[in-house]
Amino acid sequence: MAKKYFFLSDFHLGAPDPASSLVRERKIVEWLNAFEDEMEELFILGDVFDFWFEYKKAVPRGYVRLLGKIAEISDRGIPVHFFTGNHDMWIFDYIPSELGVTLHRAPIRRTLAGKTFMIGHGDGLGPGDHGYKFIKKVFASKACQWLFARFHPNFGIGLADYFSSKSRKANREQDAVFLGKENEWLAIYCEEQDAAKPTEYYLFGHRHLPMVIDLERGGTYINTGDWITHFTYAVFDGSKMKLKSYGTSPIIHGDGDPENC
């Protein structure tokens, strides 16, 4: 049986509270157990954690079921690609060294089974969102990271959890609404990329809405949704790309066919 390429994103583990996060984490591990034997490669497209910061001698507590499962998959020789998102951009060397994954901080281009792909988390791409783009540059600076590391972990992680929660609540309504092909920033970004360098598939997370959008020049933009509401993932079998759900029946937005993207 031909192996497959799997893509999923936006777990936001830790939110909104430990109990509900644990339920979600167990479901993700259950999914990984169900499909790991079919995996050629696994792509985790960011915002795995609602917040993450690595101190030299400490990391956020929890998530051991998921981290152990990813390490197990990597130990089997299955390549795992782990993208940072806007909520966990402060992943440094702990995740790649302990789990054996390849860490990506920006979109990558790959050819998989003869098909061309652009893959990433999706934050800060396309028009608009200028405030976040500025903040991202600040947070990505070594100076900002050094200053945050001066906080005691109890205070620093607690402070970050507070602001992460405020950001999530502020964006909740917009995250639930499909803005239309012409207004979705990532769709606009993919159209621009496809005009400059035609690519067959554009895989992103970040938006929290499962989408399949056919681009003007023939490419397809697929948003993998999330594992808070939709529990969706994309799978490429070497011939066809599909956007599927695990145990739910979410609405797939856009003009493309999720069963034959």
Residue 258: inside a domain:
no
* Count of structural domains within the chain: 1
For residue 76, give its domain range.
4-245
Domain at 137, CATH number:
3.60.21.10
pLDDT tens digits, one per residue of 9-20:
999 999 989 999
Mind giving me the DSSP string for the chain?
A: ---EEEEE----BT-S-HHHHHHHHHHHHHHHHHHGGGEEEEEE-S--BS--B--SS---S--HHHHHHHHHHHHTT--EEEE--SSSTB--SHHHHHH-PEEESS-EEEEETTEEEEEE--TT-SS--HHHHHHHHHHTSHHHHHHHHTS-HHHHHHHHHHHHHHHHHHHHHHHTS---TTT-HHHHHHHHHHHHS--SEEEE-SS-SEEEEE-TTS-EEEEE--TTTT-EEEEE-SS-EEEEESS--PPPBSSS-TT--
Residue 255: inside a domain:
no
Residue 183: inside a domain:
yes
In which band, very low, low, confident or very high, does the pLDDT at 171 lie, cut at 50, 70 and 90? low
pLDDT tens digits, one per residue of 128-169:
776 676 677 767 788 887 777 788 787 877 776 766 666 656
* pTM as predicted: 0.92
